[in-house]
Chain A
Amino acid sequence: MAENIRTDEATGTQTVGHEWDGIEELNTPLPRWWLWTFYATVFWSIVYVILYPAWPLVNSATAGVLGWSSRGDVEQQLAAREAELAPIHEALVAADINSLVANAELRNTAIQGGQSAYKVHCVQCHGADAAGLGGYPNLNDDDWLWGGDLEAIEYTLIHGIRNPDHPETRFSQMPAFGADGLLNDAEIGDVASYVRLLSGEEQASAASQRGATLFANNCAVCHGGDGKGNRELGAPNLTDAISLYGTDREALTETIYYSRNGVMPRWGQRLDPATIRMLAVYVHSLGGGEVAPAAAEDQAPDAAETASAVPPDDGKAGDASS
């Protein structure tokens, strides 16, 4: 091929020696800046391969002499973030839970931290909107089986409900009236009628009359003579509009026949105290949180009248997209 190389007259440049249908290509050298850029990138890639993890091996990759890795980077950032949050977490744990909400900074931290912890640990049962569903309590409402003030919520979180092998867990047991043969089917139907009368879903009838007697003998010990429940025992209030398992006849019959024993894990052994505290404050803030009896007495009587400062919007004060 070399013999075809000739110098083009018009430009004084050599051709590459190929010819296609009379068209030849000039052997114009690459621009120098281009070449240097190319060499620089080659050099850069070599340096990069030496410094950073780059070369894939069978099960891993070369480590790179800098010892940097993206995973290590993330771990470092996480550690740094944790160190940054440590003081406020300590303050959270050190504070008295009832007075903690008075401190706007602690309160906001707790609600935000609690919200993210909730999304990791609690959504599976209580749902993304904390509204629960059939047997998993709605955390937004104002009905609480075991108490809805901050202390009670925190206790529930730490010790769980009906947690096996844990002496301090919240525990109650409703007898399975049907399965254990304590009541017969007709009697269960009568009790159901009475309970539905209590919650205003049925009119008084002969069945509910019979049910009232059965209720007084079998159920009042936990649910109270008036059916208003007992938080010490986790016995639900049967007279209000909220029912964990439903108040239609079928659900009610099933409850009385087999009893219900919902279980909640004991988070005290899995989460650190600060996270639990944050969860408690978050759940309390969802709208149904109650004030502890002792704390309520402390509160100034005109607290409601005082204008209250609202927290700024997450530091994004000028958010145009709100």
Chain B
Amino acid sequence: MPVPDDTLEPPLQLYAARKDVFPKAVNGFFRRLKWQIMAATLAIYYITPWIRWDRGPYAPDQAVLVDLANRRFYMFGLEIWPHEFYYVAGMLVMAGIGLFLVTSAVGRAWCGYACPQTVWTDLFQHVERWVDGDRNAQFRLKDSPWNGTKIRKRLTKWGIWLFISFWTGGAWIMYFADAPTLTVDFWQGEAHYIAYATVGILTAITFIFGGFMREQVCIYMCPWPRIQTAMMDEKSLMVTYKDWRGEKRGSVKKALKNPGEFGDCIDCNQCVAVCPTGIDIREGPQIGCITCALCIDACDTVMEQTGRPRGLIDYITEEDAEREQKGEKARASWKMLLRPRTMAYFTVWASIGVAMLFAVGNRSRLDLSVQQDRSPAYVQLANGDVRNSFTVKLRNMENRPRDVVVSVSGLPGASIWSESVPRRDGQTSITATVPADSVGKLNLFVVAPREGGADEAFTITATGADAEAGDSGATDSDTFTFKRPER
């Protein structure tokens, strides 16, 4: 057997092994901004389900509730029925276009500040720093053998992570049921098993994504950066290292000794140390950069300490970068926001919003839908009249029971009745009480004389008639054909 040749190169590896990223604590304007946004987004997420909203006795009093069992979506004053799902679709479209708008204006700002992956990773990294110490201590701990301290610290860290993860998963299910009731049920072991499964899955996902996968999610799993790279252009803001100013790198001492030879970057690596995705921004724009601007904070601190102007790493558009390189003045940032592309996105985004607001403001909370019984299409009655049957559904979308008048018009000699309103000659309208927030079903019988065309058009109308409750008199109607036997 030939001896394996050890001069051969090792087989090609397609994936780089993950290097641990232990970002260093940093302070500065963007860090503070990140704190504020983190506090706000987390607060919105955890607190929203607990906000109450009085909708009267017939509807839940939770401000934001996805009621899957009853197929309702409540959002403060808005109540959405399944057939109105286009509002939700509209909101999703708005969210999508909103991302386009943000990206074309300020690059990956969503990724850097508001993306849940970023927010929770940031939170977990703070916990990690709090337990294990800052960057260097974390590296030391990682390399140290498994002794008591390390085990204790690891268990503490994972314990806190797990607690946060559990709380995160727990907050999620609160959006789908009455939060206080569900909490009690949950702890008494009486909640639906799906609630426990959801909490379990989301706990695991938060724990793994926030604690261990972190930047891997941003770089390898998330499709969004790939789309964004295609959406950004020379007019989008992004975090840029001004290499024309920074290169060539050299320490303060070297620069003092050789004036004019070195740029402003002192190669202190602070920008790399603070980066949550572990990249070196000095290598140019790259997909791993989530534009969190922590490197700007870090470098600005260094620049201040060395007495150099801030902004070696800066938020800047490519256009302005070129301009600055040529020694021209950069333009005011509002000008970068007001350009045709962002305006176009904004116009589309805003029109959808306005259209939806208009639609919501004008939607009718009474809906009539009628199905004509086709089998049999008509029934001949003893006195010679002809009867057609209809299944009428009355959607009362208001949170109170309502009286609804169902009437027919345009059919000479017609009279109607239903199983709950007895037959009477000449009766062309009947009143039905539809329970709050539900669909009432009515079997409507329509009788007309034998004389008339084989297919005669007429109209069925439903009108809200609850005068006591100040019913607006919402009306919905539709046209049908009255079937008669052929002569």
CB < 8 Å neighbour of B431 from A138, A241, A242, A307:
A307
> Which of B29-37, B192-200, B283-291, B381-389 lies at the interface?
B381-389
Across chains A and B, which 10 residue pairs bring their CB atoms closest together, nearest first? A310-B440, A318-B71, A308-B420, A129-B375, A240-B382, A320-B82, A320-B83, A131-B376, A241-B384, A12-B4
Determine if B2 and A318 form an interchain contact, defined as CB atoms under 8 angstroms apart.
no
Question: Per-position contact with B for A1-19: 1 when CB-CB < 8 Å, else 0?
Answer: 0000011011110000000
Residues on the B chain within 8 Å of A288, using CB: 379, 381
Determine if A312 and B382 form an interchain contact, defined as CB atoms under 8 angstroms apart.
no
Question: Per-position contact with B for A284-322: 1 when CB-CB < 8 Å, else 0?
Answer: 010110010000000000011001111111101111101
Q: A317-B439, A320-B82 are in contact. Are A310 and B420 (CB under 8 A)?
A: yes
Least CB separation from B375: chain A residue: A129
Least CB separation from B442: chain A residue: A310
Determine if A128 and B440 form an interchain contact, defined as CB atoms under 8 angstroms apart.
no
Least CB separation from A317: chain B residue: B438
Determine if B433 and A309 form an interchain contact, defined as CB atoms under 8 angstroms apart.
yes
Determine if B439 and A318 form an interchain contact, defined as CB atoms under 8 angstroms apart.
yes
Least CB separation from B393: chain A residue: A322
Flag whether B312 is at the interface (Cβ < 8 A): no
> In B418-439, which residues have CB < 8 Å from any A CB?
418-422, 424, 427, 431-435, 437-439
Least CB separation from A304: chain B residue: B422
Number of interface residues of B (CB under 8 A): 49
Residues on the B chain within 8 Å of A154, using CB: none
Question: Bound state CA distance, A288 and B440, in angstroms?
Answer: 22
Determine if A304 and B433 form an interchain contact, defined as CB atoms under 8 angstroms apart.
no
Q: A128-B375, A311-B440, A312-B435 are in contact. Are A304 and B382 (CB under 8 A)?
A: no
Question: Bound state CA distance, A320 and B83, in angstroms?
Answer: 5
How far, in Å, is B367 (CB) from chain A's closest CB? 9
> Which of A57-65, A80-88, A140-148, A265-273 lies at the interface?
A140-148
Flag whether B369 is at the interface (Cβ < 8 A): yes
Interface of chain A, main secondary structure: loop
How far, in Å, is B133 (CB) from chain A's closest CB? 37
CB < 8 Å neighbour of B419 from A7, A130, A285, A320:
A285
> In B296-338, which residues have CB < 8 Å from any A CB?
none
> In A100-151, which residues have CB < 8 Å from any B CB?
128-131, 138, 140-143
Question: Bound state CA distance, A9 and B381, in angstroms?
Answer: 95
Residues on the B chain within 8 Å of A309, using CB: 420, 432-435, 440
Flag whether A237 is at the interface (Cβ < 8 A): yes
Residues on the A chain within 8 Å of B427, using CB: 304
Least CB separation from B432: chain A residue: A310
Query: 8 additional contacts, CB 8 Å, given A142-B381, A310-B442?
Result: A6-B2, A138-B379, A241-B382, A285-B443, A288-B381, A304-B422, A317-B437, A322-B439
Q: Which B positions have Cβ atoms within 8 angstroms of A? A: 1-2, 4-5, 8, 11, 70-72, 81-83, 85, 369, 371, 375-376, 379-384, 387, 389, 393-394, 403, 418-422, 424, 427, 431-435, 437-443, 445, 450
Question: Bound state CA distance, A54 and B23, in angstroms?
Answer: 58
Least CB separation from A131: chain B residue: B376
How far, in Å, is B83 (CB) from chain A's closest CB? 4
Residues on the A chain within 8 Å of B422, using CB: 291, 303-304
Residues on the A chain within 8 Å of B380, using CB: 138, 141, 241-242
Residues on the A chain within 8 Å of B442, using CB: 310
Q: A237-B382, A241-B381, A242-B380 are in contact. Are A310 and B375 (CB under 8 A)?
A: no
Total contacts A to B, CB within 8 angstroms?
A: 125
Question: Bound state CA distance, A141 and B381, in angstroms?
Answer: 5
How far, in Å, is B465 (CB) from chain A's closest CB? 9
A sample of 14 inter-chain contacts (CB < 8 A) reads A241-B384, A242-B382, A285-B419, A285-B443, A291-B422, A304-B422, A307-B433, A308-B431, A308-B432, A310-B440, A318-B81, A318-B439, A322-B371, A322-B439
Residues on the A chain within 8 Å of B2, using CB: 6-7, 9
Q: A237-B382, A303-B422 are in contact. Are A310 and B387 (CB under 8 A)?
A: no
Determine if B394 and A310 form an interchain contact, defined as CB atoms under 8 angstroms apart.
yes
CB < 8 Å neighbour of B11 from A11, A142, A313:
A11
Determine if B419 and A141 form an interchain contact, defined as CB atoms under 8 angstroms apart.
no
Residues on the B chain within 8 Å of A311, using CB: 440-441
Least CB separation from B434: chain A residue: A310
Greatest chain B CB density within 10 A among A9, A237, A303, A319 is at: A319
How far, in Å, is B176 (CB) from chain A's closest CB? 15
Least CB separation from A307: chain B residue: B431
How far, in Å, is B129 (CB) from chain A's closest CB? 36
Question: Bound state CA distance, A4 and B22, in angstroms?
Answer: 53
Determine if A131 and B379 form an interchain contact, defined as CB atoms under 8 angstroms apart.
yes
Residues on the B chain within 8 Å of A310, using CB: 394, 418, 420, 432-434, 440-442
How far, in Å, is B157 (CB) from chain A's closest CB? 30
Least CB separation from A132: chain B residue: B376
Q: A242-B381, A317-B70 are in contact. Are A312 and B438 (CB under 8 A)?
A: yes
How far, in Å, is A66 (CB) from chain B's closest CB? 23
Q: A128-B375, A141-B381, A312-B435 are in contact. Are A318 and B440 (CB under 8 A)?
A: no
Question: Bound state CA distance, A105 and B5, in angstroms?
Answer: 85
Least CB separation from B67: chain A residue: A318
How far, in Å, is B399 (CB) from chain A's closest CB? 13
Determine if B4 and A141 form an interchain contact, defined as CB atoms under 8 angstroms apart.
no
Least CB separation from A314: chain B residue: B441
Q: A128-B375, A308-B433 are in contact. Are A241 and B439 (CB under 8 A)?
A: no
Determine if B421 and A308 form an interchain contact, defined as CB atoms under 8 angstroms apart.
yes
Least CB separation from A129: chain B residue: B375
Residues on the B chain within 8 Å of A138, using CB: 376, 379-380
Question: Bound state CA distance, A312 and B421, in angstroms?
Answer: 16
Determine if A7 and B1 form an interchain contact, defined as CB atoms under 8 angstroms apart.
yes
Least CB separation from A200: chain B residue: B384
Greatest chain B CB density within 10 A among A138, A142, A242, A318 is at: A318
Least CB separation from B71: chain A residue: A318
CB < 8 Å neighbour of A312 from B384, B403, B441:
B441
Residues on the B chain within 8 Å of A143, using CB: 381-382
Least CB separation from B369: chain A residue: A322
